[in-house]
Amino acid sequence: MTLTLRAYAKINLYLDILEKRDDGYHDLVTVMQSVSLHDTVTLSRRQDDEIRLLESNVSSIPAEKNLVVRAARAYFAASGDPFGVDISLQKTIPMAAGVGGGSADAAAVLRGLNQLDHNRFKNADLAKIGAELGADIPFCIYGGTALCRGIGEVILPAQNNLDGAVVLAIAGESVSTPDAFGAWDRQMAASKKTENAPDGLLGALQVGDLAGVSACLYNAFEAVIEPIRPAVSALKKMMLNAGATAACMSGSGPSVFGLFADDNAAAQAAAALQANGIAAYPCHFIL
Ligand code: C5P
């Protein structure tokens, strides 16, 4: 039996960092949104009990490969009833860019194994298994639009009536997530006092108000990443010049996304960015 799943990238429409916890992670308030840019994960049951990662289309994806195999092992550790599986991974989502590619792949493996396993687990159980492997994996199990707290694992699905058109683009060298949190600790932790709930953003999403959503995009990492990655600020400006209603960094960067009036406007902007040598992907919200 073979199963093919889409592993959707995510963007952070809002990302605030609250404080560093005793375990070294940071409490966040973030609104995550799945977008149509996706990897493809194929799972086939094997006759024996081996987990095999077949060749994928990208030669060097150690972190993603590792996370996919670890997800399968974690699934079988939780079920106590392992079976063999071939996993193949077709990557499209840019790696180490703040758009959750590795987390999406791992979540797709957990969802797919559960399907092959006659839906033994509920999504909440899969999210718990995934949380042990990465903070963004629980969101990727559910997808859509959600307000996430804790380290990202406390998930409240949000109503969204905005059929958002997006361009995702990559600015310069990748950023390591632990380094980005470290920079925030050094520069910003002392100035953080109150928790801001993203009520304006959630209200605008609920009524499908693009201007309202555009006015509320926020990412606390921009304050520490833009000074060391000037390409991020430059790309945000290019997005706006190409017709975006707003542009913001995603996750710990350096990817930048722009929101657009419709898919046609997004496709034109992506083409304009590509003409300037920038990796740009037109996509839209997955609701
Ligand atoms: O969980 P994940 O592997 O995505 O996180 C990578 C690193 O980012 C963690 O080891 C931690 O240093 C940092 N992190 C954090 N707070 C979060 C998520 C990640 O400090 N909420």
Q: Residues 158-216: pLDDT tens digits? A: 999 999 999 999 988 888 999 999 999 999 877 765 667 899 999 999 999 999 999 99
Ligand 1 atom nearest residue 20's Cα: 20
- Those residues whose C-beta lies under 8 Å from the C-beta of residue 100, and which sit 6 or more positions away, are 9, 10, 32, 93, 136, 139, 140, 251
> Whole-angstrom Cα distance, residue 238 to residue 277?
12
Q: Residues 205-248: pLDDT tens digits? A: 999 999 999 999 999 999 999 999 999 999 999 999 999 999 99
Q: Is 117 a catalytic residue?
A: no
Three-state SS at 186: helix
The tokens for 90 are 């077709």
Q: What H or E segment, with its residue span, contains residue 146?
A: strand 145-149
pLDDT band at 61 (very low <50, low <70, confident <90, very high): low
Choose which residue among 20, 22, 26 to substitute to test ligand 1 binding: the one with the highest number of ligand atoms within 8 A of its C-beta: 26
Three-state SS at 219: strand
In the sheet with 255-260, reading across from the earlier edge strand, the strands are 246-249, 255-260, 165-170, 280-284
Q: Is 136 a catalytic residue?
A: yes
Is the per-residue pLDDT at 64 higher than 70?
no
Radius of gyration (Cα) for the chain, nearest Å? Answer: 19
Ligand 1 binding pocket, CB closer than 6 Å:
24-26, 28, 134-136, 151-152, 177-178, 181
